[in-house]
A and B are shown apart, each in its own frame.
Chain A
Amino acid sequence: MVVFVQIGPPDFDRMFGALADHTRRDIVRRAISAEEGVVELASHYPMSFAAVQKHVGVLERAGLVTKERIGRRKVVHTNLERLRVARRLLDQYEELWRCRIDRMTELIAETRRATDDRHRRP
């Protein structure tokens, strides 16, 4: 019955909560290229290393980023699939209403045609 993209067990509220902060959204954006570690990320923000580390921790627990060891470095890396899942939920609801509005428009057009026909009759 339910045709729905299979979404593992992510904690959606935690995910949306993590994305509700501007700095964290920015970290997620930067970490898409998976080039920087926490130290480099911290250099972009006017806050302490510890504060940035905390933000990365929130994102990690929400499954939005992972730390990956590349050679001797540890880089922060965005989990794109998880991010798309968050977005897709709202996209699907949008699509549901777009389809409904198409049907409403068709229904209105139909009654208008019926009224016009009646008026044309002598």
Chain B
Amino acid sequence: MTVIAVRKDPQRLTITVEAEFDASPERVWQLWADPRQLERWWGPPTYPATFTKHDLAPGSSVAYYMTGPEGDQLHHYWEVLEADGPHRLLFRDRFANADGTPNTDLPMNTVRVVIEEVGHGHTRMSIESAFPSAEALEQVLGMGMEEGTKQAVGQIDAILGEDAFAKR
């Protein structure tokens, strides 16, 4: 269990996931900085990601596509806003057309990664994703991200608290 906290803010449409690893910040940074490692974890097994361009310099971009079970491909790219290895990364994850050009019709989400050493050999990484609208969140989830549906359908609503639903 390496996820230590999850904070969801339905009003601001942000979700922050914090995780701890038995590794140095440099090792954790490599998960983002090495495209071959990214390919091992970014996409779910049913939608593996292939990175075709990877340059984490601010102002540069990272391009990738995800291949679905039917061979369908979903193209994306990151607009790198800030990068300061091994501690900080800020990028916009956006949709692209099949030829790799940006598809500005579809929404983006902004991802902020902070990596910090919390003790010898232990590193904490927090990932905050922010969505411009609930529709954007829905679209990001709907496009090739089906693993989320493993979540039980009847998830209890934290907005109301568990007791509220128990009454029913």
Contact = CB atoms under 8 A, between A and B. Distances in A.
Interface stretch (B10-18, B52-60, B80-88): B10-18
B106 interface: no
Nearest to A4: B142
A29 B17 CA distance: 27
Given A92-B151, A96-B147, A16 B142 contact: no
A1 B72 CA distance: 8
B11 A20 contact: yes
| Size category, A interface | 35 or more
A68 B10 CA distance: 28
A33 B154 CA distance: 18
B151 A95 contact: yes
A48 interface: no
Interface in A1-56: 1-5, 7, 12-13, 15-16, 19-20, 25, 28-29, 32-33
B127 A29 contact: no
A84 B155 contact: yes
B41 A107 contact: yes
Interface residues of B, number: 56
Given A87-B155, A103-B40, A108-B27, A32 B145 contact: no
Nearest to A103: B41
Nearest to A28: B160
Name the prevailing secondary structure of the A interface residues.
Answer: helix
Nearest to A107: B40
A108 B52 CA distance: 23
24 contacts: A1-B72, A12-B137, A16-B11, A32-B160, A32-B164, A32-B165, A80-B168, A83-B159, A86-B159, A87-B157, A87-B158, A87-B159, A90-B10, A93-B137, A95-B148, A95-B150, A96-B148, A97-B127, A98-B17, A99-B147, A101-B3, A108-B31, A111-B27, A112-B23
Closest 8 A/B residue pairs (Cβ): A12-B134, A92-B148, A3-B146, A103-B41, A87-B157, A97-B17, A95-B148, A20-B11
Interface of B: 2-3, 6, 8, 10-11, 13, 15, 17, 19, 21-23, 27-28, 31, 37, 40-42, 44, 68, 70, 72, 127, 129, 133-135, 137-138, 140-151, 153-161, 164-165, 167-168
Given A3-B149, A95-B150, 10 more contacts: A1-B72, A12-B135, A33-B167, A86-B10, A88-B151, A94-B6, A94-B151, A95-B151, A96-B44, A108-B27
